[in-house]
Amino acid sequence: MIDTAPITRPEIEAAQKRIAADVRRTPLLRLRGSQLGVACDELWLKLEHLQVGGSFKARGMFNRMRANPVPAAGVVIASGGNAGIAVAVAAQALGVRAEVFVPESSSAAKRAKLAELGAAVTVTGTSYADALGASLARQRQTGALLMHAYDQREVVVGAGTLAAEVEEEAGVPDRVLVSVGGGGLIAGVASWFQDRCWIDALEPEHAPTLYRARKAGKPVDVEVSGIAADSLGARRIGEIAWAVTQESVDGRHLLSDAAIRAAQLDLWTKLRLAVEPAAALPLAALTTGTVMPRKEEKVLLVVCGANLDLASLAA
């Protein structure tokens, strides 16, 4: 059973200490909003694409492995790519075996990275849900420690450590913009900041897990496709994220593939930040006017990952 009890700041602080030697304290880039065409005084970009493994996911995966005994069979996970890469990085660092089940929608670049890191990779099914089913069957067979891309307490707590870093360095922002797939990132960030700032959940139009859940009043399955499906490809919002976001997330917004792509290219051309589409949703929300902060607001954008095909930035 998934533990959906409220995640506390002391839990996140304990995770910070637990994984301090394993993960990077990523930079916080502070800009005038005008530098990215946004009408607010300050933008804070938390550059998690520079994290170990290329995404924020390393925080939760190291925390999960450090907090639990890992059996001889190692660890197993289903992932569209980033969580699998984070598990492979952590497993390599800790000297344990990793098996990763990925859907056919996962990118070739992410599969290649998994193989490079020494993970055993199995491609199965058309969606994350298919890969998840296969990973659960494998875990029952081998007894490996089951890792989840977004719906385990230690994983969500680990994600929250990036928000703790932001506050230590710069204080509490007025508004936070976070991309949502299965919801582990926004659940961790919201658990840290709670009601001390406005939090906006951002999803692609073609993967609206939280948006549809809010409309239905409960988590529901959605069809997933589009530019960010390899990293925001969960079919249903996680139980932990559903519990957290009902209490601590204020806005929910959908963004088109075209807007996400334009923001991804903006981050490259204006700041030379090479990030995957999922990491561009916060900027897309601002440049399209989907989210319109007040001029005096300090706005935090979580730039969540960099596992992309670099050739895509030349288009």
- pLDDT digits over 71-108, tens only? 999 999 998 778 999 999 999 999 999 999 988 877 78
Residue 315 reports pLDDT greater than 90: no
Q: Is residue 72 part of a domain?
A: yes
Q: Which two tokens stand for residue 85?
A: 């890469």
Q: Is residue 275 part of a domain?
A: yes
| 51 lies in the same domain as 20 | yes
pLDDT at site 122: 93
Q: Is residue 4 part of a domain?
A: no
| 137 lies in the same domain as 251 | no
pLDDT at site 313: 73
pLDDT at site 225: 82
| 50 lies in the same domain as 192 | yes
Q: Is residue 109 part of a domain?
A: yes
Q: Is 21 exposed, middle or buried (0-12, 13-18, 19+ CB in 10 A)?
A: exposed
Where does a domain end: 146, 167, 197? 146
Residue 132 reports pLDDT greater than 90: no
| 43 lies in the same domain as 81 | no
| 19 lies in the same domain as 166 | yes
Q: Is residue 3 part of a domain?
A: no
Where does a domain end: 102, 128, 146? 146
Q: CB of 287 within 8 A of CB of 88? A: no
pLDDT digits (tens, 9 = 90+) for 47-80: 999 999 999 999 999 999 999 999 999 999 998 7
| 163 lies in the same domain as 117 | no
Mean pLDDT over the full length of the chain: 92
Q: Is residue 136 part of a domain?
A: yes
| 277 lies in the same domain as 129 | no
Task: Average the pLDDT over 282-289 and give the result.
Answer: 97
Higher pLDDT, 111 or 56: 56
| 51 lies in the same domain as 87 | no
Where does a domain end: 88, 121, 146? 146
pLDDT at site 126: 83
pLDDT digits (tens, 9 = 90+) for 233-256: 678 899 999 999 998 898 899 999
Q: Which two tokens stand for residue 174?
A: 């007025």
C-alpha pair distances (Å), 197 with each of 167, 193, 268 = 12, 7, 28
CATH number of the CATH domain containing 230:
3.40.50.1100
Q: Is residue 141 part of a domain?
A: yes
| 260 lies in the same domain as 141 | no
| 261 lies in the same domain as 215 | yes
Q: CB of 89 within 8 A of CB of 115? A: no
| 27 lies in the same domain as 167 | yes
Domain of 135 in residue numbering reads as 57-146
| 296 lies in the same domain as 281 | yes
> How many structural domains is the chain composed of?
2
Q: Is residue 2 part of a domain?
A: no
pLDDT digits (tens, 9 = 90+) for 176-192: 999 999 999 999 999 99
Secondary structure of the chain in the HEC alphabet? Answer: CCCCCCCCHHHHHHHHHHHCCCCCCCCEEEEEHHHHCCCCCEEEEEEHHHCHHHECHHHHHHHHHHHCCCCCCCEEEECCCHHHHHHHHHHHHHCCCEEEEECCCCCHHHHHHHHHCCCEEEECCCCHHHHHHHHHHHHHHHCCEECCCCCCHHHHHHHHHHHHHHHHHHCCCCEEEEECCCCHHHHHHHHHHHHHCEEEEEEECCCCHHHHHHHHCCCCCCCCCCCCCCCCCCCCCCHHHHHHHHHHCCEEEEECHHHHHHHHHHHHHHHCCCCCHHHHHHHHHHHCCCCCCCCCCEEEEEECECCCCHHHHHC
pLDDT at site 234: 78
